[in-house]
Amino acid sequence: MGQHLTEMVGCCTQFLRPPGIILRSAEESRSAASWVPLFWTRRWLRTLPNYLLFLIINIALAHSIRPAELPNIFYYLTFTQSLAWQHPPFFGEAWSLAVEEIFYLLSPLLIAVFMYFGATAEKAMLRTAVLVILASTSLRLLALFLNNPTMDEGLRKITFFRLDSIMFGVLAALLMKRYKEQAAVFRLAVGLSVLFLACGYVASWPDNSLNESYAIRSSIFTMASLGGVGFILLGMASKTRWDISFVTERISRWSYSAYLANLPVLMLLMKFKVPATDGLSCIALFLAFIFLTFLVSALVYKFFEAKILRLRDKKFSENSRTHVAQ
């Protein structure tokens, strides 16, 4: 089930950011494409410094606690290391970051093209979402029936095959903006959430079973993305409200670094051979892993990431307003 949490996080990321940031930027622009350079600049100042920092860290770790043969780093600098081919073993978690960055590079251009031909910003985003979902799904199915790839390395981690996972979150956000009937949204959310749990159960099957099933490989990514949307809708449609902003705001700030830091932290714990001989010690080890991951993330945010974001908001603010980090 763990691998499909990535799909849920992808949807959640797009639900919280686009269409809020992308849609607002496009609606307030002077022309179809005038908003795109500033959006890219703000986006890349949010993600690239952290990414480059951890890329350097992983290059260093490749000679110590996380051994791996160094590939051509140019591909990692351009997020093309798994564009239409398998991701190298080095810095394996970077595949999902490549999906995000290629998405953020291409989707504003597509939205701008639709706006140039007369679509409103909202309609342009909807058309872009439909186009990307159809194109990405078609490429994935074509590769499946032509090459019979494995589910994980041959499909899940390839950028062009996974752009649709982000767009499902965008579609759901547009749905919530338009559709105000909370009871119907709640019912839809419950159904989709069950779908996500079912995908998690299927994903726990042995790799051989997954790689032999065309039905699973052709449908599970779409189903998992829809299921992730369900969980988000469930939270938004729920009438229960808790004031947990203190926690959620910090997790949001640290999340990018946490994703990049968690495997190096895990490798460090494995390097020191921390014993886990019974249930209690396993729980303690897991809690130590979570604590260290967020500790590293908090330190990176405070002493590195936050400084860059302040500079970004000072030099590249939109209409003199401070926006939520993209």
Last residue of a domain, one of 224, 241, 258: 241
Residue 274 shares a structural domain with residue 227 = no
How many separate domains does the chain show? 2
Q: What residues have CB less than 8 Å from 225, skipping those under 6 apart?
A: 7, 10, 11, 164, 165, 168, 169
pLDDT tens per residue across span 268-286: 888 877 676 777 888 888 8
According to the model, what pLDDT value does residue 19 have? 52
Residue 184 shares a structural domain with residue 256 = no
Please give the backbone phi and psi of residue 2, each rounded to the nearest 5 degrees, phi first.
-60, -40
Residues paired with 199 in a beta bridge: none
Residue 213 shares a structural domain with residue 233 = yes
Residue 89 shares a structural domain with residue 179 = yes
According to the model, what pLDDT value does residue 170 have? 80
Last residue of a domain, one of 218, 241, 264: 241
CB 39 within 8 A of CB 25: yes
Label each residue of 267-303 as H, E or C.
HHHHHCCCCCCCHHHHHHHHHHHHHHHHHHHHHHHHH
Residue 230 shares a structural domain with residue 250 = no
Residue 191 shares a structural domain with residue 226 = yes
Last residue of a domain, one of 241, 258, 279: 241
Residue 170 shares a structural domain with residue 36 = yes
What six digits make up the tokens of 307?
Answer: 């400084």
Please give the backbone phi and psi of residue 18, each rounded to the nearest 5 degrees, phi first.
-75, 150
Exposure string over 250-262, b if 16+ CB within 10 A, otherwise e: eeebbbbbbbbbb
pTM for the model: 0.87
| Structural domain boundaries enclosing 234 | 2-241
pLDDT tens per residue across span 142-190: 999 999 999 999 999 999 999 998 888 788 777 777 776 677 777 888 8
Number of other CB atoms surrounding residue 323 within 10 Å? 16
Residue 137 shares a structural domain with residue 218 = yes
Residue 313 shares a structural domain with residue 187 = no
Residue 146 shares a structural domain with residue 263 = no
